[in-house]
Structure 1
């Protein structure tokens, strides 16, 4: 935070202000503002002061909700990724001792996209000027840096899927339905949600709910969603959405869809800006069903959020390991 405030003493810059501040050797919407040695991006917003404020405002009942979908789901992950394989065997110590193994693409289930996952496509750089060559040869900006800090703070759920059902604006989460900013703000108003700098924003688009339905009624839909080029509902790729996501200064975003944003993208992907340009983690396939139910029961859509990513030096992504507490 200190480096950013030295650069911008009047406050964190808007996307429009960045366009004027950046030099010609980086894309105009780049927000590498935390220092040349930074590896955690917007996680810098999760200061001790904000974490303590979130504890004081959000921890009221002690009711916990896991946000981790079973690691064996989906059985056919999107984008052609391999599903989780779990095996067990006796340890040589004897018949009463067991070990187990996991073999999977980390991005096949509830997970965080790290900064080495998706770079700025035209610039050819990942977050904080990381090159593709560095991704393969070093550990800079690996998921271990986020793991060492942790993702702890105030979480907010926008239950767009429930709102769409209640208002008659129904859609299929297994289609490329684009969630527009005006509707997200409408959901926030309906839930009486206020946003704060450093929030972890969760958006429920209905993927996991639809998954369970199609598992019973139309399993072929699951095969389509698990293809190399799936159609998935998610956040719209618009300039106003991009500006809002940047200027709200969320510490991270996540959702229940395998892509978080509408897929396939309409021209450009938000991934390259959030991950590559701003250093904002993207969580995908979070299990938000129980959280949505608890939030509705309590009529409170903010909560204390905790996540401990894997401490893998140079890691591209991580299991979510996420928890919400009211």
Structure 2
């Protein structure tokens, strides 16, 4: 896709966005839709959509999260009195391996944020607009998983593969489900399965993801959020001169919170076994009001 065509697509999507300036596409989730989503629970099975946090260096994690036990230490074994085990955790949130959520302030495009807000509210203490605080009540709704490797009869899509709109529609038909307004759409490309089976690789150079035109599907269905077991954007990029076109279109044009590097290797078999690909989904981001994102552990309840 040329840079000119990409800008035209961005303009169309921005004009077609379903959410308002306050909460972005999360505004498409109504209380009635949450009640309807709760009716998706039949077996009571809860499944995590997050991968374990990476704390050791790897080709896709040159700067892994740091987890340190601060007490007790080896030189101070606990005695008979009361003691507390304590630890400290630090993470580069927007990395290429850990499951995390992108706030609407995460993407700056042409000097603006989503809704054409000026990108001048950042300070050393955090973001002043469209921060993670928009999700302080959580994200609760109907989740839908579209399994593209399953559609194609393969365990995963090879790095560099770009999922098309036609494949999303075909997965809907094959799985007997339809994505609708206010849904949390999750797209499996098999990134985690490949990493488990073959080991980590440099995903900055090659990873499967969505073609930018699939955001027209997202806009037409008026989804509330988008998640993937990759980071949604394929590498190499499909657009000349734009490294993360799906991020720009999803966050900046449509106001979609993105959930990157999830894992569906427990959910997909459960969906296949139960013969349904929709479920109640609960996402509870951290209360970090001025943050641009946070690690997250979405829970699917079938």
What TM-score bracket applies, with the shorter chain setting the length? 0.7 to 0.9
User: Which runs of 5 or more residues in structure 2 are unaligned?
Assistant: 1-7
**Aligned pair in 2 of structure 1 residues 195, 115: CA closer, same or farther (>3 Å)?**
same
Distance in 1 of aligned mates of 2:218 and 2:183: 11
- Map of 1:274 onto structure 2: 250
Q: Which moved more, 1:264-273 or 1:280-289?
A: 264-273
2:35 corresponds to 1:52? yes
**Do 2:69 and 2:87's aligned partners in 1 also have CA atoms closer than 8 Å?**
yes
Cα distance in 1 between the residues matched to 2:18 and 2:146: 28
1:231 aligns with 2:206: yes
Aligned mates of 2:88, 2:59 — CA distance in 1: 19
Which residue is 1:7 aligned to?
Answer: none
Contact persistence 2:59–2:202 (CA under 8 A): no
Work out the CA distance in 1 between the residues paired with 2:56 and 2:212: 25
| Structural mapping, 1:2-81, within 5 Å | 27=11, 29-31=13-15, 34-35=19-20, 38=22, 40-56=23-39, 58-72=40-54, 75-76=57-58, 78=60
SS in 2 for 1:135: coil
Q: Which moved more, 1:67-76 or 1:185-194?
A: 67-76
Deviation at 1:114, TM superposition (A): 1.3
* Equivalent residue, structure 1, for 2:167: 183
Alignment of 1:1-326 (within 5 A): 27=11, 29-31=13-15, 34-35=19-20, 38=22, 40-56=23-39, 58-72=40-54, 75-76=57-58, 78=60, 82-90=63-71, 95=78, 96-108=83-95, 109-120=98-109, 123-136=110-123, 138-146=127-135, 148-165=136-153, 172-173=157-158, 175-215=159-199, 222-225=200-203, 229-238=204-213, 241-257=214-230, 259-267=231-239, 268=242, 269-326=245-302
The verdict on how the C-alpha distance between 1:302 and 1:248 changes in structure 2, with shifts beyond 3 A counting, is same
CA contact (8 A) 1:127 1:279 kept: yes
TM-score w.r.t. the length of structure 2 is 0.84
Deviation per CA, 1:268-296: give whole Å up to 9, x if none. Answer: 40211210122101111111100001001
Q: Secondary structure at the match of 2:253?
A: helix
Superposed displacement of residue 94, structure 1: 8.2
Q: Where does structure 1 lack aligned partners over 5 or more consecutive residues?
A: 1-18, 20-25, 216-221
Structure 1 residue 165, shift from structure 2 partner: 2.4
**Higher fraction of helix:** 1
RMSD between superposed Cα atoms in Å: 2.5
TM-score by length of 1: 0.78
Secondary structure of 1:279 counterpart: coil
CA-CA distance at 1:127 after TM superposition: 1.3
* CA shift for structure 1 position 77: 6.5
Q: By how many angstroms is 1:145 displaced?
A: 1.5
